[in-house]
A and B are shown apart, each in its own frame.
Chain A
């Protein structure tokens, strides 16, 4: 697919945010990106026209019931078949922050045995409440996740987080079994770490929310559905970084760009 023919759907609903930053990130790379209200998508039934789908960050439906739960169940009720076909067709889906919560609540992640009827994980309340700051992430994926194929294994990336419910957990009795599955299927993508790349091992503030195994982002077994709590679209340009005024020279782009670039590259290579 030519880059100019790539068309990304960025969903919007009451309470979503950073949709404009996400659109700009894709457009900077030469792809088309539409911000589409979910009601429009339901009315037009045109999800299949898009090359990839993004659930952006925010606090959809006021985070009522549980963060991401209402939007997840709503979209399954209205567009479940289309969404399932989209996933089965191998079309990529990205969930950023609240989008990650939606993908987990909808059973699209971790999706060990395909889309699950009930969530197999949860993004629970942070141990220390809402947090908004820059953190470090270590790339763990061996090459399955199409959203990080341009990121070398072990590379430390900087991105901001902004959430109150991001503590990734598995059912207590299945922690070991599910973690093994994440490794066996190459579904682990990002773990929280120190600036030097040492795993946070649950320590605050490197692990900002208390996530099990310092998990910050995972993909499905096929590597085409990816969710992460940090915001790559808020770490795209050099001037989005917190230390841009104190440094005399910085690269034009920063680490979040790699996520968008990896996706666009994958779509270009795909027939």
Chain B
């Protein structure tokens, strides 16, 4: 089966996010009542796997091995089967 993995990597709570803080400052300048902004990255991965479970496991593995640094990053994974 073919799967689409959406992997969202973001900073853990408590780690400063200079890019988010800068964006928040400007959004406030522009008149929005913004409390805070956090910036992350989204990786969309197309992958062949035997099952949804295997696709999820692979995505976890990718985060551990490359896409996230556990010191500062959190990640969320969404798996979608492709027709």
Contacts and interface: CB of A to CB of B under 8 A. Distances in A.
Interface residues of B, number: 15
B19 interface: yes
Given A125-B19, A172-B15, A73 B65 contact: yes
B44 interface: no
Contacts of B14: 172
Nearest to A124: B72
A126 B72 contact: no
Contact of B66 (A69, A127, A129, A169): A69
A66 B69 CA distance: 9
A159 to B, nearest CB: 23
Interface of B: 12, 14-19, 64-67, 69-72
Nearest to B67: A65
Nearest to B66: A73
A169 B69 CA distance: 11
Contacts of B67: 65
A119 B71 contact: yes
Contact of B72 (A122, A127, A129, A210): A122
Contact of B70 (A69, A118, A167): A118
Contacts of A120: 71
Contact of B69 (A69, A167, A210): A69
B18 A125 contact: yes
Contacts of A169: 15, 71-72
* Number of chain A interface residues as a range: 20 to 34
B64 A118 contact: yes
A210 B69 CA distance: 18
A105 B18 contact: no
Contacts of A73: 65-66
B12 to A, nearest CB: 7
Contacts of A129: 18
Given A122-B71, A128-B18, 9 more contacts: A69-B69, A118-B64, A119-B69, A119-B70, A124-B15, A125-B17, A169-B15, A169-B71, A172-B14
Contacts of A65: 66-67
A152 interface: no
Interface string A101-130: 000010000000000001111101111110
Nearest to B43: A65
A171 B70 contact: yes
Nearest to A125: B18
Interface string A35-59: 0000000000000000000000000
A202 to B, nearest CB: 11
A213 to B, nearest CB: 15
A73, A124, A126, A210 interface centre (most CB from chain B within 10 Å): A124
Contacts of A127: 16, 18
A238 interface: no
10 contacts: A121-B71, A122-B69, A124-B15, A124-B16, A124-B72, A125-B17, A126-B18, A127-B18, A129-B18, A171-B70
A134 interface: no
A86 interface: no
B18 A171 contact: no
Contacts of A172: 12, 14-15
